[in-house]
Structure 1
Amino acid sequence: MVSLFESQWLGGTVQLKNRIVMPPMTRTRTSDGDVPNALIATYYGQRATAGLIVAEVADVAPSSKGYAKTPGLYTDAQIQGWRLVTDEVHRKGGTIFSQIWHVGRMAHPSLMPNGEAPWGVTEQPAENSDVFAHDAEGKLGYMRAGKPRRLETEEVSALVDTFAQAFANARLAGFDGVELHAANGYLLEQFMNSALNTRTDRYGGRSVEDRTRLLMEVVDAAVRELGPGRVGVRLSPFGYFNSMPEDPLAEETLLYVSKQLGRRGVAYIHLLYELMPTGNMETAEFEKHHIDHAVLAKVRAAFPGTIIWCGGFTSREQAEDALGTGLVDMIAFGRPYIGNPDLAERLRHGWPLAVADRSSYYTRRGEVGFTDFPVYSGDSAVQGAA
């Protein structure tokens, strides 16, 4: 049996102490200017016993913002804020990657520079999906994503430079690597989806090479900045989150991307198979979209690096059963990491898991529901993680 507590190498470059991943989870706790702060550093430091932490996703530019109070990675203050986080995780012996995104059409004019329209692969809006933004009176709340404008070809090319600067900033902030968010209906996946991407330039159309061109150019920029062993990519094939249309070419695209990432020496693919098909972050019900094992086997054959599987894992037994298939190498535990800062130790010893109140996930009440969860010690809980 493969143990969760065996070490794992990423790209022959980064050695992880176990096969447990804390995946990126938006928590909306930043300070003014979308700056990570000491509270956020404490939160990640408490969870540094994970083999790999992938930090909550960071915006590459002001045009990338789809949700209020999410962190950025494009100003000096944001870089210094993230340095607080990475220093604390490293002090606790952990490894942390930055997840980086552009939300594309999943935005609202109230969050965009000068109130402009969100950026889209086309002008097709995310008709049934909400973002966390300001209403006409300036009050924060959930509202429907705005109608996007179609990016011109030169603007798409320029985005590669924007991502490249974010990768340089991640290195300055002390991250051990980066993960590109090419999942969940955000910009990179918007380009890859054959039903949504009806462009006729070099970034679109029926050709899988053209639809994935932006992702590959961004991956190449990340590899140039950080080295291939410090780059991962998150994918959510067959998902519908953020009003993504069903893609008849999803499997073809997934396998093409897997092969291309392998050729570039990318450290890992992070596969997400549990998505929210409608609604917003606080209210949507979760619905599972499983990746068939036969498809996973094809990904394994196409991609020689590490494969992380995320979605619905809540126990060591589930995780080790998945590892035992030989199709994946690491398991990501999402929501269990919110209420269990010492999740790795709880899984190791079979200690019970706490269940966090969902109403605290995105609260703006500081440490409440964020850093105030106790660690478990023997038969008693101890307030505050060591």
Structure 2
Amino acid sequence: MTDNLFQPYALNDTLTLQNRILMAPLTRCMADDDLVPTDTMAAYYARRADSGLIISEATIIRPDGQGYPNTPGLYSPAQIAGWRKVTDAVHAKGGKIFAQLWHTGRVAHPHFFGGEFVLAPSAVKVEGTVPRMRELSYTVPKPASHEEIEQLIADYSQAAANAIDAGFDGVEIHGANGYLIDQFLHYSSNQREDEFGGTPENMARFPLAVVDAIAERIGADRTALRISPGAYFNMETDARDRQVFDYFLAQLEQRNLAFVHIGIFDDSTVFDYLEGTASAYTRARYSKTLVGVGSYTAESGSEAIAKDQFDLLAIGRPFIANPDYVQRVKTGKPLVEYSDTMLAELI
């Protein structure tokens, strides 16, 4: 039984979703060489407009945020116009769509923007090479100065305004999965000794400043945030992170955001220092709208919602394989199984 997935859900007085199934952000690397969304991308998103809310693939806020080839941006007029085609196509089908705002931090690479360095909280390199471009090894990042941090906050705010200009219904700030904002929230990547590091209050200072700047610019009702309390991707674990997220979530509880979204590939993963899963830890500390994700089926996600583990269910790879995912679940039609070969084209 999955009936609860098909009930409308009011995020707030501004936005009501037609159901509780969200399309999770799925990086596809299909923008053109100027990082402009294409007509093919518009058709791809429009085919999935039956979801309660589409969260776009991660979209970089400025050139030095790029860490993967052909990921779309949201900082040039051409990119804004390209996204307008996408949002118009989704809205024409009765859907809603948020832009996920992204800066990859130390996971960026100078190759993409012709720069001399990448920015991060501290000069701590992530090991490995760039996906899809294995000839590029990651570099030691430059710790962001106070002036650079202030500019990043301003650029996040501007990207949110650009998203609204492009027709998005709101934005999700990508504060998860080992990227820039998440890097400030974990001890392994944030080794600063100034007001942006060393204590939970300091480590949360930049992420909260980004949240507040965007909420002030476009409204808290159109602002959401994705977080990864458990370090699991491009990040080493540190038990002290628990104290950071205890503080961070208490601060988020005081803000009336559209939702908070867990960043995790598999929500059955148990983190010792969180004393459970990322979603269970977050739910115990955040009472407002929470989005669960991570290898759930419609059935297991419906059960989790019924048990109040979270309020909305985000579905990832099955949406790649099944553009009509919502209708298939609703009518009991079997799902097409996801395969990595599907990443080669937008269907």
What does residue 130 of structure 1 align with? 129
1:11 and 1:306 in contact (8 A); partners too: no
SS at match of 2:111: helix
What does residue 22 of structure 1 align with? 23
2:230 and 2:278 in contact (8 A); partners too: no
Q: Hey, what's the Cα distance between the residues in 2 that align with 1:298 and 1:357?
A: 31
Alignment of 1:42 with 2:33, yes or no, is no
What does residue 379 of structure 1 align with? none
SS at match of 1:143: strand
Alignment of 1:200 with 2:193, yes or no, is yes
TM-score, normalised relative to structure 2? 0.93
Match of 2:306 among 306, 324, 328: 324
What does residue 65 of structure 1 align with? 66
What does residue 210 of structure 1 align with? 202
SS at match of 2:192: coil
Q: Deviations over 1:269-291 (max 9, x none)?
A: 1012326xxxxxxxxxxx96247
Q: Hey, what's the Cα distance between the residues in 2 that align with 1:272 and 1:4?
A: 20
Q: Which runs of 5+ in 2 are unaligned?
A: none
SS at match of 1:346: helix
SS at match of 1:180: strand
- Count matched residues: 343
C-alpha spacing 1:142/1:310, structure 2 compared with 1 (3 Å): farther
SS at match of 1:302: coil
Q: Hey, what's the Cα distance between the residues in 1 that align with 2:163 and 2:135?
A: 29
1:338 and 1:356 in contact (8 A); partners too: yes
C-alpha spacing 1:115/1:87, structure 2 compared with 1 (3 Å): same
Q: Deviations over 1:189-226 (max 9, x none)?
A: 10110232111111111x11110111111001111122
TM-score, normalised relative to structure 1? 0.84
C-alpha spacing 1:220/1:324, structure 2 compared with 1 (3 Å): same
Q: Hey, what's the Cα distance between the residues in 1 that align with 2:281 and 2:68?
A: 35
1:182 and 1:235 in contact (8 A); partners too: yes
User: Cα distance, 1:31 vs. partner?
Assistant: 1.5
1:308 and 1:332 in contact (8 A); partners too: yes
SS at match of 1:105: helix
* Letter of the 1:353 counterpart: L
* Letter of the 1:182 counterpart: G
User: Cα distance, 1:303 vs. partner?
Assistant: 2.6
What does residue 289 of structure 1 align with? 269
2:262 and 2:278 in contact (8 A); partners too: no
What does residue 283 of structure 1 align with? none
Q: Deviations over 1:144-198 (max 9, x none)?
A: 3222111112211221011111011001000000001111100001011023211
Alignment of 1:351 with 2:333, yes or no, is yes
Match of 2:286 among 279, 283, 303: 303
Q: Hey, what's the Cα distance between the residues in 1 that align with 2:21 and 2:261?
A: 12
Q: Deviations over 1:33-53 (max 9, x none)?
A: 100011100000000000010
What does residue 341 of structure 1 align with? 323
SS at match of 2:248: helix
SS at match of 1:270: strand
What does residue 243 of structure 2 align with? 252
What does residue 150 of structure 1 align with? 143
What does residue 32 of structure 2 align with? 31
User: Cα distance, 1:32 vs. partner?
Assistant: 2.5
C-alpha spacing 1:293/1:126, structure 2 compared with 1 (3 Å): closer
Q: Which runs of 5+ in 1 are unaligned?
A: 134-139, 276-286, 364-368, 372-386
* Letter of the 1:198 counterpart: Q
SS at match of 2:108: coil
What does residue 264 of structure 1 align with? 255
Q: Hey, what's the Cα distance between the residues in 1 that align with 2:168 and 2:151?
A: 24
1:10 and 1:230 in contact (8 A); partners too: no
SS at match of 1:196: coil
Match of 2:167 among 174, 196, 202: 174
C-alpha spacing 1:50/1:142, structure 2 compared with 1 (3 Å): farther
C-alpha spacing 1:12/1:252, structure 2 compared with 1 (3 Å): farther
What does residue 229 of structure 1 align with? 221
* Letter of the 2:176 counterpart: A
1:239 and 1:289 in contact (8 A); partners too: no
1:10 and 1:305 in contact (8 A); partners too: no
What does residue 120 of structure 1 align with? 120
What does residue 212 of structure 2 align with? 220
1:50 and 1:344 in contact (8 A); partners too: yes
1:20 and 1:344 in contact (8 A); partners too: yes
SS at match of 2:6: coil
SS at match of 2:323: coil
**Aligned-pair identity (%):** 39
Q: Hey, what's the Cα distance between the residues in 1 that align with 2:179 and 2:68?
A: 12
Q: Hey, what's the Cα distance between the residues in 2 that align with 1:245 and 1:66?
A: 19
Q: Deviations over 1:85-111 (max 9, x none)?
A: 000000000010000011000022211
